[in-house]
Amino acid sequence: MTQTLTNAGDVTVHVIAGDHLDAGNIRDFKLAVEPALKPNARLIFDLSGLKFVDSSGLGAILSCLRQINSQGGNLKLCGVTRPVRTLFELVRMHKVFDIYNTVEEAINAYGLMA
């Protein structure tokens, strides 16, 4: 799994490139995203490359949401593939996260131009 952090204005876009986020690569995910989890951060996770997320992966994403919210920031998701969306709906996480189709839509949801 490769991960890329890019900035679009004051929004950080974290692209998770790999087909799975699970117990086997959670540590790498957490290390890569840690720098973006700062106070008042505006963060987007682009999940368009993920085909599978297990409970560990979901827990890691949820942990990021909790951490960033506790610091006055916000986390949005975009590009959620059908299999991953199915898991989110099964455990009702689609009601917890703001989910958008594209990075541009997620950036616009922050009130910024893409």
Domain boundaries defined on the chain: 2-109
Give CA separation, 14 vs 28, 47, 89, 98, in Å.
13, 9, 22, 15
Architecture of the structural domain at 2-109 = 2-Layer Sandwich (3.30)
pLDDT (0 to 100) of residue 81: 95
Tell me the per-residue pLDDT of 9-49, one tens digit each, with 9 for 90 and over: 789 999 987 899 999 999 999 999 999 999 999 999 999 99
Reported as a single tens digit per residue, the pLDDT across 98-109 is: 999 999 999 999
Secondary structure class of 96 (helix, strand, coil) = coil
Q: Which residue matches tokens 């950080």?
A: 12
> Of 2, 14, 32, 20, which is closest to residue 84 (Cα–Cα)?
20
The pLDDT assigned to 17 comes to 77
Given this model, what pLDDT does residue 114 score?
A: 45
Residues 43 and 57: their CA atoms lie apart, in Å, by 17
Q: Which contiguous run of DSSP H or E holds residue 103?
A: helix 103-109
